Chain A
Amino acid sequence: MASNAMLANRMAAAPSMAVPSCSPTSAALEASPRVCGVLARSAAPVISLNSAMWGIKLQKVIPTKWVKVGGLNAVAAYDDDEEEEAEEDITAAYEALYGKAFEGLSKGSSGDENLSDDSRGKRGGDRRGSKNSEDKMEERVVQIRRVTKVVKGGKQMSFRAVVVIGDKKGTVGVGVGSAKEVITAVQKSATDARRHLVTVPMTKYLTFPHRADGDYGAAKVMLRPAATGTGVIAGGAVRVVLELAGVENALGKELGSKNPLNNARAVVEAVGKMKQFRDVARDRGIPMEELWK
C-alpha cells in the first residue's frame, strides 16, 4: 500500500525520534502527555507511542503513571495496525461520554440548550407544536388568504397565514406559513415568526427614540414617535406589529403598497434601524446630553 510505503520512508528518514527518557519532574510538570492524553491498553505505552505514527514527533515525556479515566480507554497512538479496539469498548466509551443514545425521545428538551440565541429563534413547533405555547408571546393573525396552485388535474387550494408575534415588552416577529388547513397554516406561521424576532428600542414613555423609515418590497412605512397619551395611530398591519411590540404611543403611515405582509416586514426593518440615545452616545464616546443640543 502506498501509505505503508510512505510510513516506512518516513521512519527511515526521521532518525530524530525523541526517545522518551524518564525524567519524572518534567512529566509531572506537564500535566498531559504529548500524544492524546489517554493511555494505551498495551503494556508498553512508551514503545507504541514512540513508533512512527505518521511521523508524530514526541517532545515531552510520557508519564509512567497510568490514570484510568473512567470509560476513556482509547488508544494513545494513531496507528492503523496496532490496538484495534473492540466494538464494546468503543460503545462503552461513547456511552460514558454522551449517555445512552435516545433512550426515549426527550420531548424536545434535548435541543433546548442550543435555542437560547435570539437570532436563531425557536426551533419550535416540533412534534405537537408544544413549544409554541411555552413562551408567553401573543399571536395575532394579520391576514389569511386562500392561494391556489394550478396543476393538470385542476386547482389545489391552500391557505396562507400571516401572523405577528409579540410579548408587548419590546420583542416582535412576523411570520408567514401556508398549509392545506387554516389552523395548520397559523401554527406554521407562528413557528416562522419565532425564528425572526427583533427587539424594538423603546424609551421609558413607551415610544420610539426617533423617526424611522423602512421598506420591504414595494411597501414603505414611516414611523414617528409621539407624546404620551397619543396611542398607536397607524393602519392595518403596522398597528398590529406596534401593538404587539408594546409600543403605546406612535404614529405610523403606510406609504407605497398596502400589502399587509410586506408592510409588517417593513415595520420590522424600520425598527431595526432605530438606535437608542445611550447606544449612540456610547459609540460616539460623548455624553448623552450632547445629542440633544
Chain B
Amino acid sequence: MKQKSWNINLEEVMQVGVHFGHQARKWNPKMASYIFTERKGIHILNLTQTARFLSEACDLLANASSKGKQVLIVGTKYQAADLVASASIKARCHYINQKWLGGMLTNWSTIEKRLQRFKDLENKEKTGVLNQLPKKEAATLKRQLVQLRKYLGGIKYMTSLPDIVIIIDQQKEITAINECITLGIPTICLVDTDCDPDLTDIPIPANDDARASIRWILNKLTLAISEGRYNSIETE
C-alpha cells in the first residue's frame, strides 16, 4: 500500500483549535504521553501525535473502504450532531447522531426489526397509504415514522454490523465503545484529555468540544473514506 500524505498542516490545525484539551484536573493519567503541557489550567495536546494517529486512521479507512467495508460514525454531542450527519452523507457512510440506543450493535437482531418497520412505514408514506387511513391512525404512524427517522435515520441502509466505527467523544459514547469491544469491531476514536486511549484501537488525541475541531477531523476521515472508495472503483 503506497504511503499517502493526508495533507495535515499543523498550523492550520492549531488555528482550528484541535490542540486544546480539557481542564487539567479532569484529566485521565493514561493520556500523559499525548499531552504536551499545561497552560492556565488547561492541558494542551501534542499535535505531532495527533497528526500521526490521524494519518494512521486515514490509511486504515482508505484501505478498508477500498475493499468495500462499512463505516459507522457515532457522534451524539450537541455540537457534533449535525456535523456528523453532513460528513457521513458526503462520504456515504452510516451515522448515528441522536441518542445511541443501548444494544444497537450487540442486540442487532432487534434493531433490524425496527429498521424493517422503518422501511415499511417509509414505503407506506411514499405510496400514500397513510392518507387513506383514519386521521388518528395516520397520526400515530406518522409519529412513529418521525421517531424512527430521528434515531435510526443514519443507519437506514445498514444491513449488518459495521466493520469500522468512528466515535467522536469517548466519554459520551462509552456504551458504544463497550459494545464495539464486546463484538470485536475496530474503533477509531477522538480522545480528549479526559478519555482512556487504551479502549480504542486508534485514538486520535484532539479536542472533542469545539465544532471546528470536530469538523476538521471528520473532514480528513471522510476524505480518506471517499478516496479509498474512488480508488477501488477506478481499479475495477
Contacts and interface: CB of A to CB of B under 8 A. Distances in A.
A91 to B, nearest CB: 9
B129 interface: no
B156 A101 contact: yes
Range of interface residues on chain A? 35 or more
B233 interface: yes
Range of interface residues on chain B? 35 or more
A36 interface: yes
A20 B198 CA distance: 42
A127 B12 contact: no
Nearest to A97: B92
Interface residue SS majority, chain A: loop
B116 A102 contact: yes
A273 B69 CA distance: 35
A34 B58 CA distance: 13
A67 interface: yes
Contact of B212 (A6, A67, A111, A117): A6
Interface in B190-212: 211-212
A37 interface: yes
Contact of B157 (A74, A94, A112, A117): A94
A101 B119 contact: yes
Interface in B212-236: 212, 215-216, 219, 222-223, 226-227, 229-231, 233-234
Interface stretch (A53-61, A140-148, A203-211, A249-257): A53-61
Nearest to B223: A36
B109 A94 contact: no
Given A102-B115, A110-B159, A56 B92 contact: no
Contacts of A98: 70, 157-159
Given A6-B212, A110-B160, A111-B161, A31 B119 contact: no
Contacts of B222: 36, 78
B94 to A, nearest CB: 8
B69 to A, nearest CB: 11
Interface of A: 3, 6, 10, 13-14, 31-32, 34-38, 53-57, 59, 67, 69, 72, 74-75, 78, 80, 85, 90, 93-95, 97-99, 101-103, 105-106, 108, 110-114, 117, 119-120, 123, 126-127
14 contacts: A6-B212, A10-B12, A10-B15, A37-B229, A38-B229, A57-B12, A59-B7, A74-B91, A74-B92, A78-B222, A85-B89, A94-B92, A105-B113, A114-B160
Given A6-B212, A37-B231, A54-B219, 15 more contacts: A13-B15, A54-B16, A55-B9, A56-B219, A57-B9, A67-B234, A78-B222, A94-B156, A99-B159, A101-B159, A102-B116, A102-B159, A110-B112, A111-B108, A114-B161
